Structure 1
C-alpha cells in the first residue's frame, strides 16, 4: 500500500469551509427590519416597531451563527468578536450625544446591528482569504462600522427613532442662522406694579420689548394657560364649520420657532409661549393677529435630552397683567404681560432642593388667589404672586411631569397633583394635604372631574399608559376625607396625551389610537383613528373633538359614544408635534419644536360677517 503525504498550510483557506448562508439570511432579516422601522409610514406604527424588533432578532442570530454555526476555527471566531467588541467600546465616546443618550442610554446598543451586518459582508468578501488576512480585514470592517455609527444623530423619538446625518443642521440651527429677529426696543414700557424687581438672584437678561400692547389686566384672559381656564382642554361657546372640504382652515400666519413643548396662553391680541434658542431659554409674546414678536425674555440656561430634545416643557400662565412661566431647568419667572419686564424670578429647583428630572421640569404655573403654585418634579411649591417669596413647600412624592390642578370637591377648593407614587390633594392656602390615593407608576397628564364630582386619574407604566381610575372622594361630618376606588379601566391608557370628559364619557388616547370609555363602568365604547402621540381639544357645544396628531395633522372627530367617526382632516404644520393646540374665538393656534401657525376656522359668526362684508 502506497501512502502519500501532503504538507498543509495552517493559514490556508482550504482548512476553513465557512458556512455563510445562515449569516446572509439573518443579515437580510436585519436589513428588512431596519428599512421597515425607518421607512414605513407613520400610520403603520406597529409595523415600524416590529421591524426594529426583527432587526434585533436578526442581529442576535448573526452572532449565534458566527460563534456556533460558521464552522471557522474557534481562534478566528473569538478574534473577530473581540475586534467587534473593542471597536464598539472605542466608538462610544465618539458618538453624537443624541445617540449616546437615546432611549435612556440604550440606543448605542443598536450599534451592534450595524456591526452584525458588517460582519456578514466581511465574511462573504473574505471567505477565500487566508486566516491571517481574514482577521486583519475583520478589524478594518469593524472600524468602518464604528465610523459609520459616529456619523449619525437622532432628532429623538416619535413612533420610532428619527435619524439624520450628524453634519445636517437641526431646525434650531436653521432658525439661529437666520439671525436675530428680536423685536425693536420700545420707546416706553408700561409702568410696573410696586414689587421687588428680583427676589432671588436669578441671572436673567432684561426683556427685549417691541411695541408694547397693554392687555386688559382686569378682564380674565380668554385662554389663560395650559389647557384653558380649567385645565380641562374644553372650548366653550364656540361652534365651527365641520365641512372642511367647503370651508377649510384658512392660514393667517406661520413662523419658525425655537424648540420646546409649550402650548399657548392668550389674552386679547397677545399670545405667550416658551421656546429655546441656543443657550437662551425664552418666554415670548407674539401678536395673535399677525404672529409678529412683541417681546422676549431670556434666561441663560439650556435644557436638552435625547428623546424629546431641547427647550422648555411647561406653558406660561397669564393673570392680572402678569405672565408666570416655569422653565425646564427650574427657573420661575413673573413678567409684565405687556412688556416682558421682570417683576421677580426664583430658582425654584433650588428652593425645593430637587434635581432637574430626566425630561426636565414640565409643570405649568397655577395661579390661585395670591399664590402661584408649581410642581418642582413631584414636589409642589407655592410663591407669593406679589413678591415671589416662598409661601409653602410640599413633600416630594416621586417624579411627576403633571401640573397642579385646581378643582372643587364637596365645596372645598383644592389643588390636585399626580406623582409617581400618589395622587395628593392639597389645601392651596397652606399647602397641607387633604387626602391621598396611592397608585404606583408615573404621572404626566392632568386629572379630570366627572359631571357628578368624582375624580379621574391616570398612571403610566414603562413607555405607555397604565389606564384610568375613577375615585369617589367624600368629606365626612368631622371634616375628614374618604377616597374610594370605583373602577380602573385599561380601555383608555394615555401616556402624555391628555384626555377630556364629555357627557358621561372620556375621550383620549389608548396608545396611539383614539378611544372612548363609559364613565359609569370604565368600559370601552370605541377605538379608532391613528394620531400617534397627539393632543386634543373638546368643542363641548357641538360634541366635537379637534385632534392634532404628532405629525401636525388636524382632524375633527365626533365626540359621541356611538362610534368612531372622523369628519375632516387637514395638514397644519410639519415636524414632530406634541404641543397642545389652542382655539380662541375662531383662531386656532398650533405649534411644535420647529414652527407655529394660526388658522381661522369658519364659524357661524365669521360666516355672517363675511356675508355682511360681501354686500
Structure 2
C-alpha cells in the first residue's frame, strides 16, 4: 500500500515528522494532530495479478473516497468511529469483478484528480461535499447508493455547540450572539442550520460568520471568539479523543435539519455497464458481516432510485449561455440523429439569429429583432406546441457592426428571466408573463462606451446577484441585486470585451472569471475586488469565447494567443505561465467544450480535437467549409453536436481518433440559412433558429 500525505500549509513540520513515523511502521492513530489534515492514500489493490475483463478495461476502476470517517481521513482515537476500511471494500469489489480496483483517499476531489492524473469512475463521500467539488472540477456525477450508519440511517445533521460556561441553554435563547457556520460545502454546518434558524425566525438578529473549516468553527468557540458554532453531529467524540478539546468543553443546545450523508457517485467516466455492476455489488455488502463491521454500517448500502429523477432535473432546462455552468455539456445527446428528425413545431421569428435560445420544459425564450432593426424583441413560446406566450419589445434603433440584434442568451432563474440587448438594455421580467420587474440601460447608468460589436456578454447569476460588465472606467464589472436591479458593488477597470463570465472555485478561492479588453481577470464575489489579471504576451484578442474549467484549472482559446491551460496558486491567483499550450488552435469566436478529457473547438474552417491529458496535443483536425464562420458546440454521451453558421447540424463520435461523423442534417433547406444562435437542448427536444423560423426538433424516437 502506498501512503501519500498532503499537508496543509500550517502543518508542514508536523507532517514531515508524521511521514517519517509512517515510513518506520508507526500507526497514525498514535499521533495527535493540531488540525485535521488533508490526506491522500493511493491503494492499487493487487492490480498486477488481476486478469483483465476486456481489452478496453485494462486500466483500473478508480474510486476516490472523501468520507470524513474513512480511516486515512479521520482521527483513529475512538474505537468503532472514524475507521471505515474502504480499502477492504475495494479488495472485495476487485475479487467479485475479477478486475483491478484502485482507491484514493482525499478530502478534496481536485487534489485527488491532480494526484492520479487519470479518470475517476466513482466517488464516495458526503453528498454536499461531492457536489461542491464535482462542480469545481466540472465533473458530472450521479448518485447510485447511500451508506447506512451504525443505526441504519443515511442522514447527517449539524449541532449547535457553545462553551461549557455559556448561559445559552437552547436555540430559542439566541438573540444577538456571534454564530459561526461551517464552510459552504458542508451542508450540515452551513445551509442546513441556516434553514433551521430561518424556520425559527432566529437568523436575522445573529452576527454570523463562515469558518474556513469545521475545526476553525470549534476553536472560535473554545477561544472565546464566537458564542456558538455549528459542527457535524459525529465530531464531538473525535475532537475529545484526538485531544483537540477537553471532555465537557462544549455543550449542545440544538441541532439542524438532517441532510444526506455518505453516498456513492458514478462519474461521467463510468460506463453504464460498470455502474450497474458496482451498484449491484454494493447492495450485496449487507450480506457480509465482515464488511458491515469495517464500514461501521448496519445495513450496508441502499439504492438511490430517486437519483434518476435528480439527474433528469439537472438537464430539463437550458437556462443560460451554453447550458448548465456554461460548459456546453448535455448528456442527452443521442447516439445518432434520425434520418429525418421530426419537427414537433415551428414558429415565426424576424431578426438575425445571433443570441442563444433559453428553454425549460414549459417555455422557450428567443431574443429577436424587428424586420427594420428598430426594436429589440424577446419572444416567449409554449414549449409544448410553439404558441406565443408573451413578447417584450422596446425601441433600440442605433446601428452597430453585424446588425443591432441582441447577442446575449436569456438567463432563466427562479421564476425570472434576464434579457439583454446589444445596446446595453437590460430587463428582468417574470418568466410566466413577461411583466417587467426592473430595467436599466447599463451603458447610460454607468457612463460606459458601447463596444463596436455591441454588448454581448450574457449576464451571470451568482447566488442572489447578477454580474454584468458595462466596461466603464469606474464600473468595469458590476454586481446587481438580481431581484431589484440595485447596485451591490462596482469595480473600476478596463472596457468590456465580448465573452461571457463564469464562476467557480480556483485554488480554494470562489471567484468570478472573465475577459475585458486587456485580458483575463478574476474578481472577488463579495466585494468586486480584482484578485489577479492576465495580460497576454502576444497582441491582444477580441476575447469572444468563454473560458473553460478543467479540473480546477482554466483553459483559454483565443485567436492571437492560441490555446493555453493555466493553474492557480493556493491563494486563488492564476499563475501567468501556462501549464501547456497548443499552437494549432486559435479560434476567433468559437467557445471550446471538453468531454472525457478531449477538447473540441472550431477555427477558420477547421474542427479540432485536443488531448487534455497529453499536454494539449492535437489528436486530429478536419478542414471543412462549414466550420469557417462561427460554430456552436455541445458535447456529451460520447458525442459532439456542431451547429454551424451555415445551419449544418453535425453529430460526431468523440471517442474516435479521427473526424468521425455519425449524423448530418440541414433543417432549413431553401431558406435564409445563416445562424449564430446557440441551440438549446431540453430532454429529447432540440431548439434551433435562423432568421425566419424557430424549430423544435425531436432528437430521437420517443416522446
> Is 1:500 the counterpart of 2:597 in the alignment?
no
Tell me the secondary structure at the aligned position of residue 473 of structure 1: coil
**Structure 1 residues not aligned, in runs of 5+:** 1-218, 610-615
Q: CA deviation at 1:560?
A: 2.8
Q: Which residue of 2 aligns with 1:49?
A: none
Task: Note if contact 2:557-2:585 (Cα within 8 Å) is conserved in structure 1.
Answer: no
Task: Note if contact 1:434-1:481 (Cα within 8 Å) is conserved in structure 2.
Answer: no
1:260-339 to 2 correspondences below 5 Å: 260=352, 261-277=354-370, 278=372, 279-306=374-401, 308-339=402-433
Q: Which residue of 2 aligns with 1:369?
A: 463
Q: Which has the higher helix share?
A: 1
**Structure 2 residues not aligned, in runs of 5+:** 1-312
Q: CA deviation at 1:491?
A: 2.0
TM-score where L is the length of structure 2: 0.51
Q: CA deviation at 1:241?
A: 4.2
Distance in 1, Cα, partners of 2:368 & 2:641: 24
Relative to 1, partners in 2 of residues 1:570 and 1:480: Cα closer, same or farther, differing over 3 Å?
closer
Distance in 2, Cα, partners of 1:346 & 1:587: 33
Q: Which residue of 2 aligns with 1:537?
A: 633
Q: Which residue of 1 aligns with 2:343?
A: 251
Relative to 1, partners in 2 of residues 1:546 and 1:529: Cα closer, same or farther, differing over 3 Å?
farther
Q: Which residue of 1 aligns with 2:650?
A: 555
Distance in 2, Cα, partners of 1:390 & 1:449: 28
How many residues are aligned here? 375
Q: CA deviation at 1:592?
A: 2.9
* Structure of higher CA gyration radius: 1
Distance in 2, Cα, partners of 1:480 & 1:276: 41
Match of 1:528 among 599, 610, 622: 622
Q: Which residue of 2 aligns with 1:446?
A: 546
Task: Note if contact 2:469-2:478 (Cα within 8 Å) is conserved in structure 1.
Answer: yes
Match of 1:346 among 435, 440, 448: 440
Tell me the secondary structure at the aligned position of residue 326 of structure 2: coil
1:128-174 residue CA offsets vs partner (Å, 9 max, x unmatched): xxxxxxxxxxxxxxxxxxxxxxxxxxxxxxxxxxxxxxxxxxxxxxx
Task: Note if contact 2:415-2:431 (Cα within 8 Å) is conserved in structure 1.
Answer: yes
Relative to 1, partners in 2 of residues 1:339 and 1:475: Cα closer, same or farther, differing over 3 Å?
same
Q: CA deviation at 1:412?
A: 2.7
Q: CA deviation at 1:311?
A: 0.8
Q: Which residue of 2 aligns with 1:474?
A: 569
Match of 2:610 among 517, 522, 529: 517
Q: CA deviation at 1:482?
A: 4.2
Match of 1:358 among 443, 449, 452: 452
Distance in 2, Cα, partners of 1:399 & 1:481: 20
Task: Note if contact 2:470-2:495 (Cα within 8 Å) is conserved in structure 1.
Answer: no
Q: Which residue of 2 aligns with 1:585?
A: 683
Distance in 2, Cα, partners of 1:243 & 1:275: 28
Tell me the secondary structure at the aligned position of residue 432 of structure 2: coil
Q: CA deviation at 1:267?
A: 2.1
> Is 1:596 the counterpart of 2:679 in the alignment?
no
Q: CA deviation at 1:398?
A: 4.0
Task: Note if contact 1:377-1:401 (Cα within 8 Å) is conserved in structure 2.
Answer: no
Distance in 2, Cα, partners of 1:243 & 1:254: 19
> Is 1:387 the counterpart of 2:484 in the alignment?
yes
Give the CA RMSD over aligned residues: 2.1
Q: CA deviation at 1:239?
A: 4.6
TM-score where L is the length of structure 1: 0.58
Distance in 2, Cα, partners of 1:408 & 1:483: 18
1:72-111 to 2 correspondences below 5 Å: none
1:250-280 residue CA offsets vs partner (Å, 9 max, x unmatched): 1112233122411111122101121111422
1:408-459 residue CA offsets vs partner (Å, 9 max, x unmatched): 2134321111123221111122211222211132200100011x22101133
Task: Note if contact 1:362-1:401 (Cα within 8 Å) is conserved in structure 2.
Answer: yes
